Chain A
Amino acid sequence: MIVNAELYVKDLPGQLVGSLEPISMVDGNIMGVVHDREQIVNHRISLNVTFEVEDATQLRRLEDIWKSRDIIISSIGSVYSTFSMEYLLIGRITASYIERLMEEASQAVTVDSVDIQYSSKNHDEKRTAMISVKVREENDLDTLDRFLRSACREGAITYIRGL
């Protein structure tokens, strides 16, 4: 899930790192930080951070850590879940083909992020693309599955998806 939080931290050296470090402690991923020194309330500086955590349990753990460090959570908003899926495509594929395919896919569903990794070509010119996709709606995974399955059938590509 992707979360946006408004924090207030003490105006002391090390406070910025001290407020971001807990996100890594819950295996979260920081996506953006705005450190606003102009907005000071009760000797505290505003910090707006957007990050991704696995689930609500991890988010609660993070909130507990922040509270234990005397970091004030002013608001937690713009929270939305993402649904991830991995795909393996095996065949005579090129990077440009896969990128074009994912561009077409992003017109059919709201894709939050795409990560693609390739193997080197083997003796029969086949290679593998591992695609990790995050979407906003669970139904989008079904739509994406249908799209990729159909494209792979047309291109004689072996298609493997996650569970």
Chain B
Amino acid sequence: MRIFIAGFGTVGQGLAEVLDSREIFFKKRYGDNVKIVGVMDSKTYVTDPEGLAPMDLVSRKAETKRVGSRTYTDALEVLDSVDYDILVEVSPTNYETGGQGLKNIVHALECGKDVITTNKGPLAIKFGDLIALARRNRCKLKFEGSVGGAMPIINLCHDNLVGEKIQSIRGILNGTCNYILSKMDSGQPFEQALKEAQQLGYAEADPTGDVGGYDSACKVVILANSVFGRNVTFSDVSITGITGITEEAIALAKSRNMVVRLIGEVTDTKLEVAPRLVPRGHPLAVTGTLNAAQILSDLAGPITITGRGAGRLETASAILSDLISVLDDREE
């Protein structure tokens, strides 16, 4: 199986490392068939139909800041320059238009390729169209890593809870906000907690996507469409971020044994991202950069999962599970 990786930042490099570390696993399960035949970052690309060594790609990126020696202006031309079976689309997210990621995914699906992505923008904006396109061309479109990083929420709902009526999902879907709110629990003001999150690399220089609730809203849209079968987009979500929360409010909540957490909630009728009061000891009162979600289904009742919501290897772990699922299907 020939893999093309579009995007070679943190997640793309993490995937290369994981593919390298699981080489024996892949050989045992699928023979010598799994190989990376192409990779592109924002400016350069490298292809080899015989396969590229994953760790060489990581080393080259670390040394030169570029994954390849050839530059490009049209990403779709690069995709067309080599035969591949699965596109792993992990380029940066664009919440407004879907960006190049959306174009890459559409192009791959139109060409009959399976796609695995962690790119939230295209899914939040064009989910219905992408699913329809994948179905029309009998392709797989997998996106476990787009919500909750290593926390396996989508596949859990699709596979293990497939016979259940899922009534609601609510959870902490953004590790950056959870880190900031956890720091505020211990008395830090918002600005200071945000600065610390930026210094540690949890928050971007422009943190609006996280603290404004937009990143969580994208994930709410993905869950609503993929788990609840709804047809909604980003603009349908009621969004309140965490910028208005003061240390006095956190202290008042604490006096009642509660914490404030940014919660995304999806039901058949509700789509919301908002700060909520959570009792201490509740499964959603997690601290640090953790993500957590509570799925309420008619038979199983509440199921809570928690895990690291982002990170190099954590997100690569979600891609790995999607990749194995696609490869298994192709083997059958």
Contact = CB atoms under 8 A, between A and B. Distances in A.
Contact of B260 (A120, A122, A126, A160): A160
B interface, over-half SS: mixed
B251 A163 contact: no
Interface in A98-117: 117
Interface centre among A86, A127, A163 (most CB of B within 10 A): A163
Interface of B: 170, 240, 244-249, 251-253, 255-256, 258, 260, 263, 274-279, 282, 284
What 10 pairs across the A-B complex have the smallest Cβ distances? A158-B244, A119-B248, A128-B249, A162-B277, A130-B252, A160-B275, A90-B249, A128-B248, A128-B252, A86-B277
A119 B252 contact: yes
Nearest to A153: B240
Contacts of A130: 252-253, 255-256
A90 B256 CA distance: 16
A163 B247 CA distance: 20
A86 B256 contact: yes
A163 B263 contact: yes
Interface string A115-137: 00101101000111010100000
B248 A163 contact: no
A147 interface: no
A54 to B, nearest CB: 13
Contacts of A126: 246, 248
A14 B253 CA distance: 39
Contacts of B284: 163
Given A88-B260, A117-B255, A162 B249 contact: no
A120 B277 CA distance: 20
A163 B170 contact: yes
Nearest to A126: B246
Given A88-B253, A158-B245, A163-B279, 9 more contacts: A88-B252, A88-B260, A90-B245, A126-B248, A158-B244, A159-B240, A162-B276, A163-B277, A163-B284
